[in-house]
C-alpha cells in the first residue's frame, strides 16, 4: 500500500443506492423524539435564524431599496412563505431526502448516485454522466463557501441586535462576534450528537419564542394573513419590476440552510428531520414571518430591525441573548454539513485522507474533522473582519446556496428517473417548475458578485480544482503503479524457479495493500531490490463495515495463497480504531515485535507525460505530501515500519 495509492479503490459505502432507512434504521418512538430535538440544534439552525436578516435585506439593500407599504409587505411575505413550502417542504423534505446514499445525504452523496458507479441505468451516455458528476462536484465546492459565510453572517446578525438596545455598544460587535466564533469551533470536537443535545432545547425555546412573537404581532394586524394568497407575490413583481427582481437575491435568504438540511441527513436520519420540520420549524417560521409583516404594516420604520422590534422593549435584551445562542447554533448546520461532505469526498476518492474522529457509537454520520474545523474558523474570522457587518456579508451570501440548490434539483431529477423509475415527463415537469423558481433566485444573486458574491465563487473554483486534481492524480498514480500481477501468479513464479534467486529469510513481513488479490507494488519492489523475502508473508487489506462495531469472530478472513504467502482481509466497524498490528497478533499469532510492516511511499515528480497540466501535478504532489500518515492511521509500531520509496513520474 502507498500513501497515495492506498485509497485508489475507495470504500463502496457511498457507491450503493438510496434506501428508505434514513441512516438510523427502525428507531423507537422515544429515540425519534430525541433525534428530532437534536436535529433542531444541528440541522435547522440556519433556516431558523434567517428571520433576523432576510426581510430587512429584502427592503434595505442598497441595490433595491423598496417602499415599506402594503403591496410590498404582503408581496414579500407571500414570496417568503411559498418559497419555504416549495423549496424546503416539497423539494427537500418530501423529495430530495428520499435520495440517501446508505443513510448519507448531501449533494456529493447524490453525485455518487448518478455517477457511473452509482447509476443503475447502464444506457446513460458516459459523457452526460461525466458532466453531471462535474456539475455535482461544483455544487459541492460551492457548499464549502457557504460553510464559511453562514457562521459569520449568523453570529454577526445576532450580536448586532445590541445596537437596537444600546447603540453605544456598537464598537463591541466585531470582537464579540469573533469570540463567539472561536468558542463555536472549539466545541466541535465533542461531536454533533452532544452538540445537538445541548443546542436542541435552546432551539425549542427559540422556535417557540418566534412563534409567540409572530402570533402576537399577527393578531394586531390580521390582514397580513392575505399573504397566503400568491397573487400578492405576483403583484409585488409587477409593481417593482427590476427592483423586485433584484430583491429576490435577498428574499432567498429565507431558505438558506436548505442544502445543509440535506447534507446533515446522515447525522440524524430522514424521519427525525421530517418530524422536526413539520411539527415545529415550519409553523414557527410561518408565524414569525407573518408577525414581521404585520409589524411593518403598522410601523414601516421598524424595517431597520424588524425581528428585534417584534419584542416589547423590556424583553429585547433577553431576545438578543437568545438570538445570539440561536445563531451560534445556526452555524452548526453548515459546519456539520461540511464535515459530512469532506468525509464523503475522501471515501469517493476526491480528497486526500484527513483525520476523521467518529464521535458517536450509535450514529455513523456523527463525525468531527479537525483540519476542516480550524480552516473554517479562520475563514469565518477573516470574513467578519473583512466585511464588518451582516448587511455587507449578505451581499456575499446566497449565491453559493442558490447554485448548489439549482444543481441538486437537476441531479435529483436524473436520479429519480433512473432509480425510482418515475415517469420522465412528470419528473422533469416538476423539476422544471422548481428550476424556474431557483433559477430566478440564482439570476438575482448574480448581481451580488461585485459586492461580495465573488467570494463563494472563488472558494468554489479552488475547491473544485482540488477535488478534480486529486481524483485525476490518483488515477494516474494507479496506472503508473499497477503491476498487473495477481498475487497467485507472483507466488507461482516463486515456486517455478524464481525461488532460487530469491532468498527466503526468517521472519514475518506484512504488506498493506488496498486491492485484495493483487501483488502490492511495495512487495515487488522489495523482492527486486533485495533479492530476499520473509518466510511468512501476509498481504493485508483493510475494509470498513457499515456497522459501528465488528465482532472479533468476524474480524479477519484469510486465504492461503501458497509459498508462505497469505492474503488477509481485516474488517472494522466505523467506530473502531484500525489496530492492524494488535489484531494480527491476537487473531493470527503474528508478533508485532518480530514483524516488519511494509508501506509504499511515492515521491511525485511532475513531467511532460500525458495526464495533467504541470501546475495540477504540482498541486497533487502537495496534497499527497500533506495527507494523514498511513502508519499512524493503522497503529503500526514505529520501529517496525519499512517504507519503500519510489519516484513516480506523472
Distance (Å) of CA 127 to CA 118, 140, 242, 384: 15, 20, 38, 42
How many Å apart are CA 464 and CA 321, to the nearest integer? 38
Question: Which region holds residue 209: left if phi is over 0, alpha if psi is between -120 and 50, else beta?
Answer: alpha
- DSSP characters for 232-245? HHHHHHHHHHHHHH
38 φ/ψ angles, rounded to the nearest 5 degrees: -60, -35
How many Å apart are CA 522 and CA 78, to the nearest integer? 65
How many Å apart are CA 541 and CA 517, to the nearest integer? 9
Within 8 A by CB and 6+ apart from 525, the residues are 600, 644, 646
How many angstroms separate the first and last alpha carbons of the chain? 18
Helix (H, G, I), strand (E, B) or coil at 646: strand
Residue with cell 467570494: 455
Query: Which cell numbers in the block locate residue 393?
Result: 456579508
**What number of other Cβ atoms are within 10 A of residue 79's Cβ?**
25
Tell me the β-bridge partners of 603: 647
* pLDDT score for 36: 81
**What number of other Cβ atoms are within 10 A of residue 246's Cβ?**
20
Say if residues 366 and 191 touch (Cβ distance below 8 Å).
yes
* pLDDT score for 143: 82
Within 8 A by CB and 6+ apart from 87, the residues are 255, 258, 405, 434, 437, 438
Mean pLDDT by 10 residues, the chain (650 residues): 44 38 46 78 82 90 84 96 95 90 76 67 57 87 85 85 78 90 86 67 91 96 96 95 91 86 78 91 96 96 92 90 83 76 77 79 68 92 90 80 91 91 91 93 90 88 93 84 80 71 89 86 89 93 71 90 93 76 92 90 81 90 86 86 84
Within 8 A by CB and 6+ apart from 409, the residues are 91, 431, 434, 435, 438
DSSP state of 101: B
pTM for the predicted model, two decimal places: 0.77
Say if residues 306 and 68 touch (Cβ distance below 8 Å).
no
* pLDDT score for 595: 94
**Domains detected in the chain:** 5-472 (1.20.1740.10), 482-649 (no CATH)
Query: Which cell numbers in the block locate residue 538?
Result: 501476509
From the number of C-beta atoms within 10 Å of its C-beta (0-12, 13-18, 19+), residue 54 rates as buried
* pLDDT score for 645: 81
* pLDDT score for 15: 38
**What number of other Cβ atoms are within 10 A of residue 615's Cβ?**
11
Residue with cell 436524473: 414
* pLDDT score for 23: 43
Residue with cell 464579540: 176
SS3 content of the chain, % helix, strand, coil (to 5): 65, 10, 25
* pLDDT score for 18: 38
Amino acid at each position: 500500500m502507498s500513501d497515495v495509492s492506498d485509497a485508489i479503490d475507495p470504500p463502496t459505502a457511498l457507491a450503493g443506492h438510496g434506501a428508505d432507512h434514513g441512516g438510523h434504521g427502525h428507531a423507537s418512538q422515544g429515540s425519534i423524539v430525541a433525534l428530532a430535538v437534536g436535529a433542531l440544534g444541528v440541522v435547522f439552525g440556519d433556516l431558523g435564524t434567517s428571520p433576523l436578516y432576510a426581510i430587512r435585506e429584502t427592503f434595505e439593500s442598497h441595490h433595491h431599496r423598496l417602499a415599506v407599504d402594503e403591496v410590498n409587505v404582503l408581496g414579500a411575505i407571500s414570496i417568503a412563505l411559498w418559497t419555504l413550502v416549495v423549496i424546503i417542504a416539497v423539494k427537500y423534505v418530501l423529495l430530495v431526502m428520499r435520495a440517501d446514499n446508505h443513510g448519507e445525504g448531501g449533494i456529493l452523496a447524490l453525485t455518487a448516485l448518478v455517477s457511473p458507479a452509482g447509476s443503475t441505468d447502464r444506457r446513460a451516455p458516459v459523457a452526460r454522466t461525466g458532466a453531471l458528476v462535474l456539475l455535482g462536484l461544483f455544487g459541492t465546492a460551492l457548499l464549502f463557501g457557504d460553510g464559511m459565510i453562514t457562521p459569520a453572517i449568523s453570529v454577526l446578525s445576532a450580536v448586532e441586535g445590541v445596537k437596537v438596545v444600546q447603540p453605544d455598544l456598537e464598537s463591541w460587535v466585531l470582537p464579540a462576534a469573533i469570540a463567539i466564533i472561536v468558542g463555536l469551533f472549539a466545541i466541535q470536537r465533542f461531536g454533533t450528537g452532544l452538540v445537538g443535545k445541548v443546542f436542541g432545547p435552546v432551539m425549542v425555546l427559540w422556535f417557540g419564542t418566534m412563534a409567540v412573537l409572530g402570533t402576537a404581532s399577527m393578531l394586531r394586524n390580521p390582514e397580513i394573513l392575505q399573504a397566503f394568497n400568491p397573487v400578492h407575490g405576483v403583484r409585488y413583481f409587477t409593481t417593482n419590476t427590476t427592483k423586485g427582481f433584484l430583491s429576490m437575491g435577498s428574499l432567498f435568504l429565507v431558505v438558506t440552510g436548505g442544502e445543509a438540511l440535506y447534507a446533515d441527513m446522515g447525522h440524524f436520519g430522514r424521519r427525525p428531520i421530517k418530524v422536526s420540520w413539520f411539527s415545529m420549524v415550519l409553523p414557527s417560521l410561518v408565524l414569525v414571518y407573518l408577525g414581521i409583516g404585520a409589524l411593518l404594516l403598522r410601523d414601516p420604520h421598524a424595517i431597520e430591525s424588524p425581528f428585534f422590534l417584534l419584542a416589547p422593549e423590556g424583553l429585547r435584551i433577553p431576545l438578543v441573548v437568545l438570538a445570539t445562542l440561536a445563531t451560534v447554533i445556526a452555524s452548526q448546520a453548515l459546519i456539520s454539513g461540511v464535515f459530512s461532505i469532506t468525509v464523503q469526498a475522501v471515501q469517493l476518492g476526491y480528497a486526500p485522507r484527513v483525520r476523521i474522529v467518529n464521535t458517536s457509537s450509535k450514529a455513523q454520520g456523527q463525525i468531527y474533522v479537525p483540519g476542516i474545523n480550524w480552516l473554517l474558523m479562520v475563514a469565518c474570522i477573516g470574513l467578519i473582519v473583512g466585511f464588518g457587518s451582516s448587511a455587507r456579508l449578505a451581499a456575499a451570501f446566497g449565491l453559493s446556496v442558490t447554485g448548489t440548490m439549482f444543481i441538486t434539483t437537476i441531479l435529483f431529477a436524473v436520479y429519480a428517473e433512473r432509480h425510482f423509475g418515475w415517469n420522465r415527463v412528470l419528473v422533469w415537469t416538476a423539476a422544471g417548475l422548481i428550476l424556474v423558481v431557483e433559477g430566478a433566485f440564482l439570476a438575482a444573486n448574480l448581481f451580488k458578485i461585485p459586492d461580495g458574491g465573488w467570494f463563494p465563487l472563488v472558494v468554489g473554483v479552488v475547491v473544485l480544482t482540488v477535488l478534480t486534481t486529486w481524483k485525476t492524480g490518483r488515477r494516474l498514480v494507479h496506472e503508473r503503479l499497477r503491476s498487473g500481477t495477481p498475487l497467485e501468479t507472483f507466488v507461482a513464479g516463486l515456486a517455478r524457479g524464481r525461488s532460487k534467486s530469491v532468498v527466503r529469510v526468517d521472519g514475518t513481513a506484512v504488506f498493506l495493500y488496498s486491492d485484495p488479490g493483487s501483488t502490492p507494488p511495495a512487495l515487488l519492489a522489495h523482492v527486486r531490490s533485495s533479492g530476499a523475502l520473509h518466510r511468512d508473508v501476509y498481504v493485508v487489506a483493510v475494509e470498513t463495515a457499515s456497522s459501528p462495531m465488528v465482532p472479533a469472530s468476524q474480524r479477519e478472513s484469510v486465504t492461503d495463497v501458497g509459498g508462505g504467502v497469505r492474503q488477509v482481509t481485516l474488517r472494522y466497524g466505523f467506530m473502531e480504531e484500525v489496530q492492524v498490528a494488535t489484531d494480527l497478533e491476537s487473531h493470527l499469532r503474528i508478533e508485532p515485535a518480530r514483524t516488519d510492516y511494509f508501506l509504499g511511499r511515492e515521491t511525485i515528480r511532475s513531467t511532460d507525460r500525458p495526464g495533467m497540466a504541470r501546475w495540477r501535478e504540482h498541486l497533487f504532489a502537495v496534497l499527497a505530501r500533506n495527507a494523514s500518515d498511513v502508519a499512524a492511521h493503522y497503529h503500526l509500531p514505529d520501529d517496525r515500519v519499512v517504507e519503500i520509496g519510489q519516484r513516480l513520474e506523472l
